[in-house]
Amino acid sequence: DATGGDYYDFIQATDDDKNLRLVLGDVTGHGIAAALMMATARSLLRGGVKCGDDPVQRLYDVNNSLVKDTPLGWFMTFYCLELSADSSEIRWISAGHDAAIVVAVDGSVSEFEGDDIPLGVNENWAFTGKGPATIAHGSVIVLGTDGIWEARNTKGEMYDKPRLIEVIQKNRTRAVEDICDAIVDAVLEFCGDAPRTDDITMIVARRS
């Protein structure tokens, strides 16, 4: 069953449209069960990670719901990064998800990690928000799922993060749509005829 459990979203964080949350999630496994868990999590998150809400508290509530309502062993990694139109600051929270990658105009790379566990693992887990941190204007922000860097070629080699970062650096001055296409093209070229076993999902944005 090829049905996947990746999830992405863009959620207004303030009534004045000046703060935006980039959201990405990845449910373990594939098939109908993964898709249902993703849909459940999306509904719970959409209902709370919105204007004025504290995403840390909302994740606490969503996590407890998923622990109670999903089969043992199923979980969802989650990443939320908040951008502000009035400053260069970002804030983020990661529930077991890989770090956001930020490539500045000069090609320098920063990764914004978290240290919380995935959603659906332990009830009453106290999640921790991170930041603020400052990113320069013109920086490219990439959030992705492990279907990118864990993609394998016919030799069984993984694509890995360094190759991804190199593609972002080489294409950092292009439009975000072109950067996204360049990443997908590079992964598919690397994999060649090897079977694809996971979804490729990403958010590519630029700090204006």
CA-based nearest residue to 49, from 127, 153, 163: 127
Task: Name the 3-class secondary structure at 83.
Answer: strand
**CB within 8 A of 168, min separation 6: which ones?**
101, 103, 140, 142, 179, 183
Burial of 171 per CB tally in 10 Å (0-12, 13-18, 19+)? buried
pLDDT digits (tens, 9 = 90+) for 143-184: 999 999 999 999 999 999 999 999 999 999 999 999 999 999
**CA gyration radius, the chain:** 17
Task: Name the 3-class secondary structure at 33.
Answer: helix
Domains and CATH numbers, the chain: 6-206 (3.60.40.10)
- Parallel, antiparallel, or unpaired: how do β-strands 76-84 and 89-95 relate? antiparallel
Here the tokens at position 107 are 């090609």
Output 70 or 183, whichever has higher pLDDT: 183
Q: What is the pLDDT of residue 69?
A: 85
pLDDT digits (tens, 9 = 90+) for 89-132: 999 999 999 999 999 999 999 999 999 999 999 999 999 999 99
Q: What is the mean pLDDT of residues 39-51?
A: 74
Q: How confident is the model at residue 46 (pLDDT cuts 50, 70, 90)?
A: confident
Q: How confident is the model at residue 1 (pLDDT cuts 50, 70, 90)?
A: very low
pLDDT score of 4 more than 90: no
Output 45 or 184, whichever has higher pLDDT: 184
Backbone angles phi, psi at 126, to 5 degrees: -90, 105
* Enclosing H/E stretch for 118: none
